[in-house]
Every structure is written in C-alpha cells, then in structure tokens.
C-alpha cells in the first residue's frame, strides 16, 4: 500500500469528514501542483508559482517560521504545514505543546502532500486538528470556537511563507477575522474584570422590574426596515428626516442618541440602553421617559429603571450568565443578543434576531466628524481633538473628506463588517453620510433611502402598543413569578456553603503554616472537596450563573496557582491558596447579590 492510500485508510477510520473531503470535495483553488521530489512541491496558482519549502535550507525556514513563538506555547495554529519538515524541531523545542491546528487551504496541494507524509505517525507524537479545503469563514468560526473554549491556553498563529504568498487573500481574511475576534474577546475580558460586580449589583436590583421580554417582538414587523440611530455628529445632517418616516420604518435610538433625539423633539419607537455606570443617568436626565418603550439589559444602571415611566422591555445578553439564569426562570425562554464592542453593534444583532431584513444606520460616524464625537443635543461636552496626537488616525470618510478616527472606532467598524459578512441574507444601508464606509453595507444619503427603500407604511406605534398590551403580565402575576424564583433562598444556600468552605480553608492554612503533616492536610482537602466544594459546584445557581460570571477571575486564579512539579508540600500549599482565592472572590460576588437583593 502506498503512502497516499495508507493516509486515506487512516482518515476513513479516524475522520470520515476529511476522508469524504479527499474523495469527493471540489478544490477551492484552481492550482497546478508538481511534485519535484519527496522534499519539495511546486504550486502554480493565480499567475504565481512557488516551491512550498526552501530550495536551500529547510532548517532555516523552520527557524524563521517559529522564531517569534513563545517557548511555553501550548497550541500552535499553522497556516500550511507542507511536507512537515519542521515537525521534529517543533516537537523538541516546544516542551509544553499540547496540540497543533493545521490549516491547509488547497485540496490539490494537500493530496500531493499525503503521498509523502505519514499522518498517523505525526499524530502518535502530538494531537493534530486538520482544517482542509474549508471556506475561510468556516475556518474563522472553528478557530474562534477553539480559542474561546481554551481561553486560558497559550496559543500562537504561524505561517509558511510560500502558503501566505500563494493564498494571500485567504490568509489575510482568516488572520484579520480571528485577530478581530480575539481582540474583541480580550476587550470583553477586560470589561468583565472591570464591571462584573457592578453588573451583579444592577442585576440584583433590576430583575424585580416587571418587563416584557424582547422575544415578544420577534417577527412582528414583517416588511418594515429598522433605522438604528447612533449619536455621531453626522446625525446633525439627517435626524430631521426621522419624523417623516415614523410610519415607514421602526426607529431605534441607542445610547447617547436617546438624549439627542429627545433634545431635538424626535420620539423614536424604541430606546435602547445597557451601560452599567452611574454616568448613564445623564442620558436620561430631563427627557420624557414616558414617550417611548425602553429596551434594556438588567446590567443597566439601576436608578434608570426606577425612574423610567415608559414601558420596559428586557433584553438578555449572551454573556450575562446571572441574567440568563433569572431570565429563564421568569420567562421560561432564552432569547439572547450577542454582546459587542458598542451598543450599536448590539442593536444590529438584535435587529437581525428580531427578523428585520433591511437595517439602516445613521449617526454611526466611526470617526470624529468636524472634530466632534456627538451630534448636538448630547449631554456630553465635545472639546475637539488634537490631530497631532498619535492616537488619532488620519483617513477619509464616505465623501472623500479627510477625517480622524482611532483604534476603538476601527474595532467597531471591523465588528460591523464581520457581522454583515456572517449575516449576508439582509440588506444593510449606511446612511450616516459623513462617516466612514462600512464594507458590506450600501452607503447612500438619507433622502435617497427614503426615496428608494422606504415604500411600505404601517401604524407602527399601534402595532407596538398592541404587543405590549397583549403580553404584559399584571403585577400580581409578576410577584408570583418572583416568589417561585426564590433567588433569596438560593443565594443564602450558596453563601452558607461558601462561608463553611472559607472557614475550614482558613483553619487549614494556619495548620499548614504551623507545619502540619502532609497526610493530615491532604485528608482535610479531600473532606472539603467532598462535603463542601462538590455540593456547592452542583448548586444550580452556582453552576449555571455564578461560576460562569466569575470565569475570568477563576481562570486567572488557577493560572496563578497551577503547579506541575513533584514537590507534594508545595502542591498542597498551592491548592489551599487557590481554593482560598476562589472562595474569596465568590464571597464578594454573593455579597453583592445579597446586599442589593435585599435593597429592592
């Protein structure tokens, strides 16, 4: 049996997906592959021709490929492994390596490689995941899911230079997509570290408010577009159109645009707010809170709901785990909206999930139009920007005018573009006029949008009012649901277990410091694990909500105290310190929930 057939048999037994790909899939690249010898292959594609390995020194090639890779890396994603000349160096150099993910974009080339590389022998030394001949969007999603599930693992992305040259568009699309997702994740992680306890405080107070779940508005506006109104300075040029189209499109004001529209005498169909900080009160001060329904996340600063007179619509965020637990208990539903870089990103996801097929953006400048950050009527006092500051990036807007942006704005722009790419079955229109263009969206002025895209009319206010009236629970029904939830009892049960855990761990730490025997210490750790920690981890509130809400803290603690050496005493000390740290952050979170629950 030749090497190719041996590999084919191996995939047939171990990975039917790759086997079927090799047998029946059409290659994504119209390439010509020439086998030069067992050490190299020549590929011709798109008027380019490359040998996939160095003609002179494959050892030097491998060195360059991994020269910037962290020696402690645990997962390496390789764009193009070729004939695996680098494999032995890779295994011997990276001692902590757990797994390899290989992207092979060209099926023609991969088939040629299988004539010379023994896949089974490679896998005997290190687990390898192959992404063969896949659409680039699917590669991004696979890598992202992999990264998200192993967020604490050290991971690196490397490439074969010839592959990068041959399949440049494919490579850059994947690298950009994954990088944006990772950056967004890191931002979300930093945000979680900053706001976790503030979110808990707001949630513990806000969930008592009787509100309609956003689910009730799914597919209720068939045929109508939605206009998402942000607060950018370009809003000055087209907000006056909004009163003309209130019967042609659903108008949703997000974030600071709530204040701006109210200041300019414009009432949208919906307002949306999620910010947990006290400064969000500025958006709602001195506005008519009874004029429009408010779509909110329970993480919203709690005093806003206390004062808001209009209808309230509860929106559940995908990373709000405590909110999800409560939401499911109260509504027997789980309709989540994806968290994003900005509230406008979140509103776009909500619009798609509600069923809108035409989504129009205004006020989404993504730059400092005329040196400003907000349209007139905001509570925010714009003081202009210093264009000489290196944090501002010079670019051009949709009209070709010179404007300045920054990395956060470009991050938002990237998320919009990735979202549009991932949801291509909708029409996206950017009517901001003087902002940056958004790839995948049609850029056109608002008067043209009215002329060409807003044909159907409807009594939208009446439709919204009917949904609110028909689905709203009365106060008695709502109180009954809160009673059945019994969050107070669940918090107490979890708190009692954790207090018991803390007490025994503190005593155990003192015993360790006094030099207690290792067997006694291990015996007490086993008791705590069996009789306290394990029951606590099986507590539904802890398992579904609290642990996931504290994930970023617990991961950091576990990384800090991970220990792989053979010193048994040191291992026990690390475990005691880790459990104490985890119990302390859990106590802090539960105290926030309890204190604010009792205040409501």
One-character DSSP codes across 413-427: HHHHHHHHHH-TTSE
Asked if residue 136 and residue 69 are part of one domain, the reply reads: yes
- Asked if 505 and 499 count as a contact pair (C-beta separation under 8 A), the reply is no
Residue 187: band (very low, low, confident or very high) from pLDDT cuts 50, 70, 90: low
Query: Average pLDDT of 76-87?
Result: 86
Average confidence score pLDDT of the chain: 88
Cβ neighbours, 10 Å, residue 69: 16
Q: 3-state secondary structure string, 101-132? A: EEEECCHHHHHHHCCCCCHHHHHHHCCEEEEE
The angle formed by the CA atoms of residues 469, 474 and 476, to the nearest 5 degrees, is 175
Per the model's pLDDT, the better-predicted residue between 387 and 594 turns out to be 594
Asked if residue 495 and residue 429 are part of one domain, the reply reads: no
Asked if residue 370 and residue 444 are part of one domain, the reply reads: yes
User: Which residues 6+ apart lie within 8 Å of 218 measured at CB?
Assistant: 335, 353, 354, 355
The domain boundary residue, chosen from 444, 461, 478? 478
Q: Is the dihedral of CA 92, 96, 99, 100 positive or negative?
A: negative
Distance CA 61, CA 54 (A): 6
Query: Average pLDDT of 14-23?
Result: 90
The reply to whether 186 falls in a domain is: no
Distance CA 541, CA 438 (A): 41
**Contacts of 45-52 spanning 24+ positions with Cβ under 8 A:** 45/106, 45/166, 45/167, 46/166, 48/165, 48/166, 50/162, 50/165, 50/166, 51/162, 52/80, 52/82, 52/83, 52/109, 52/160, 52/162, 52/163
- Name the nearest CA neighbour of 592 among 193, 194, 192, 201: 201
The angle formed by the CA atoms of residues 182, 186 and 190, to the nearest 5 degrees, is 170
The domain boundary residue, chosen from 452, 478, 504? 478
pLDDT value for 85: 82
Query: Average pLDDT of 276-302?
Result: 94
Core vs surface per residue 519-554: b (16+ CB within 10 A) or e: eebeebbeebeeebbeebeebebbebbbbbbbbbbb
**3-state secondary structure at position 94:** coil
- Name the nearest CA neighbour of 54 among 80, 32, 33, 85: 85
- Name the nearest CA neighbour of 225 among 468, 453, 434: 453
pLDDT value for 468: 95
pLDDT value for 587: 94
Per the model's pLDDT, the better-predicted residue between 193 and 94 turns out to be 94
- Paired residues of 532 in beta bridges: none
The domain boundary residue, chosen from 478, 498, 520? 478
Asked if residue 564 and residue 417 are part of one domain, the reply reads: no
The reply to whether 179 falls in a domain is: no
The reply to whether 433 falls in a domain is: yes
The reply to whether 474 falls in a domain is: yes
Q: pLDDT tens digits for 330-365? A: 999 989 998 877 899 999 999 999 999 999 999 999
Residue 152: band (very low, low, confident or very high) from pLDDT cuts 50, 70, 90: low
The reply to whether 183 falls in a domain is: no
Asked if residue 514 and residue 391 are part of one domain, the reply reads: no
What is the residue range of 495's domain? 486-599
pTM greater than 0.85: no
The reply to whether 96 falls in a domain is: yes
pLDDT value for 127: 87
Residue 589: band (very low, low, confident or very high) from pLDDT cuts 50, 70, 90: very high
pLDDT at 184 over 70: no
pLDDT value for 446: 94
- Asked if 208 and 482 count as a contact pair (C-beta separation under 8 A), the reply is yes
Q: pLDDT tens digits for 298-329? A: 999 999 999 999 999 999 999 899 999 999 99
135 burial via Cβ count (<10 Å: 0-12, 13-18, 19+): exposed
Asked if residue 592 and residue 459 are part of one domain, the reply reads: no
Residue 189: band (very low, low, confident or very high) from pLDDT cuts 50, 70, 90: low
Distance of CA 404 to the CA centre of its chain: 27
Residue 122: band (very low, low, confident or very high) from pLDDT cuts 50, 70, 90: confident
Asked if residue 349 and residue 417 are part of one domain, the reply reads: yes
Core vs surface per residue 279-314: b (16+ CB within 10 A) or e: ebeebbeebebeebbbbbbbbbbbebbeebeebbbb
Q: pLDDT tens digits for 513-568? A: 998 889 999 999 999 999 998 998 888 999 999 998 998 888 778 877 876 667 88
Query: Average pLDDT of 93-101?
Result: 85
Asked if residue 257 and residue 400 are part of one domain, the reply reads: yes
For 102-106, 179-183, 252-256, 460-464, which range has the lowest pLDDT when averaged over its residues? Answer: 179-183
Asked if residue 284 and residue 153 are part of one domain, the reply reads: no
The reply to whether 180 falls in a domain is: no
pLDDT value for 220: 94
pLDDT value for 386: 65
Distance CA 300, CA 295 (A): 10
Asked if residue 474 and residue 496 are part of one domain, the reply reads: no
pLDDT value for 301: 96
pLDDT at 381 over 60: no
Q: pLDDT tens digits for 419-478? A: 898 899 999 999 998 899 999 999 999 999 999 999 889 999 999 999 999 998 899 999
pLDDT value for 389: 73
- Paired residues of 493 in beta bridges: none
Distance CA 385, CA 239 (A): 24
The reply to whether 136 falls in a domain is: yes
Number of compact structural domains in the chain: 3
Distance CA 482, CA 209 (A): 10
Asked if residue 377 and residue 299 are part of one domain, the reply reads: yes
The angle formed by the CA atoms of residues 112, 116 and 118, to the nearest 5 degrees, is 115
- Name the nearest CA neighbour of 209 among 312, 280, 281, 278: 312
- Asked if 300 and 279 count as a contact pair (C-beta separation under 8 A), the reply is no
CATH number of residue 363's parent domain: 3.90.1480
Percent of the chain whose predicted confidence (pLDDT) is above 90: 52
Distance CA 230, CA 273 (A): 12
Asked if residue 278 and residue 373 are part of one domain, the reply reads: yes
Give me the helix-helix angle, 487-513 and 568-599, nearest 10°. 150
């Amino acid at each position: 049996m030749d090497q190719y057939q041996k590999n084919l048999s191996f995939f047939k037994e171990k990975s039917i997906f790759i086997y079927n790909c090799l047998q029946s899939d059409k290659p994504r690249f119209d390439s010509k592959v020439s086998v030069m010898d067992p050490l190299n292959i020549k590929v011709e594609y798109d008027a380019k021709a490359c040998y996939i390995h160095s003609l002179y020194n494959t050892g030097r090639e491998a060195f360059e490929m991994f020269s910037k890779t962290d020696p402690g890396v645990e997962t390496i994603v390789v764009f193009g492994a070729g004939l695996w000349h680098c494999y032995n160096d890779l295994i011997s150099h990276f001692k902590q390596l757990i797994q390899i993910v290989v992207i092979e974009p060209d099926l023609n080339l991969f088939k040629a490689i299988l004539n010379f590389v023994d896949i089974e022998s490679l896998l005997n030394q290190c687990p390898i995941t192959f992404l063969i001949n896949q659409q680039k969007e699917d590669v991004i999603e696979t890598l992202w899911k992999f990264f998200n599930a192993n967020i604490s693992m050290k991971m690196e992305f490397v490439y074969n230079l010839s592959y990068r040259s041959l399949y440049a568009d494919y490579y850059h699309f994947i690298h950009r997509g994954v990088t944006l997702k990772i950056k967004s994740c890191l931002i979300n992680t930093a945000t979680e570290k900053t706001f976790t306890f503030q979110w808990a405080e707001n949630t513990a107070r806000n969930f008592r408010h009787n509100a309609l779940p956003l689910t009730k508005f799914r597919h209720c506006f068939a045929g109508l577009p939605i206009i998402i109104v942000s607060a950018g300075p370009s809003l000055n040029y087209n907000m006056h159109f909004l009163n003309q189209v209130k019967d042609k499109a659903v108008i949703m004001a997000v974030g600071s645009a709530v204040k701006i529209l109210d200041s300019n005498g414009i009432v949208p169909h919906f307002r949306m707010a999620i910010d947990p900080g006290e400064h969000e009160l500025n958006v709602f001060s001195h506005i008519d809170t009874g004029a429009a329904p408010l779509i909110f996340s329970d993480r919203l600063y709690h005093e806003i709901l206390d004062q808001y007179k209009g209808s309230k619509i509860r929106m559940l965020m995908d990373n709000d785990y405590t909110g999800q637990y409560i939401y499911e208990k109260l509504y027997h539903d789980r309709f989540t909206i994806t968290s994003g870089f900005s509230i406008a990103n979140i509103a776009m996801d909500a619009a798609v999930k509600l069923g809108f097929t035409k989504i129009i953006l205004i006020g989404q400048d993504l730059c400092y139009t005329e040196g400003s950050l907000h349209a007139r009527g905001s509570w925010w006092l714009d003081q202009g920007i210093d264009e000489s500051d290196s944090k501002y990036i010079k670019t051009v807007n949709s009209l070709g005018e010179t404007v300045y942006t920054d990395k956060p704005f470009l991050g938002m722009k990237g998320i919009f573009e990735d979202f549009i790419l991932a949801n291509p079955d909708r029409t996206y229109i950017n009517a901001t006029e003087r902002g940056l263009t958004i790839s995948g969206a049609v850029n056109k002025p608002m008067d043209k949008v009215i002329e060409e895209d807003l044909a159907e009319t409807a009594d939208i206010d009446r439709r919204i009012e009917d949904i609110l009236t028909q689905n709203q629970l009365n106060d008695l029904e709502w109180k009954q649901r809160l009673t059945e939830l019994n969050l107070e009892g669940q918090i107490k049960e979890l708190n009692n277990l954790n207090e018991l855990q803390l007490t025994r761990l503190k005593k155990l730490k003192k015993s360790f410091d006094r030099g207690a025997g290792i067997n006694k210490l291990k015996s007490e750790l086993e008791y705590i694990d069996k009789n306290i920690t394990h029951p606590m981890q099986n507590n539904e509130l802890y398992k579904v909500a609290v642990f996931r809400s504290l994930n970023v803290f617990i991961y950091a603690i576990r990384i800090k105290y991970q220990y792989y050496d053979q010193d048994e005493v040191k291992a026990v000390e690390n475990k005691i310190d880790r459990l104490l740290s985890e119990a302390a952050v859990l106590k802090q979170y539960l105290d926030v929930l309890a204190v604010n629950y009792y205040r409501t």
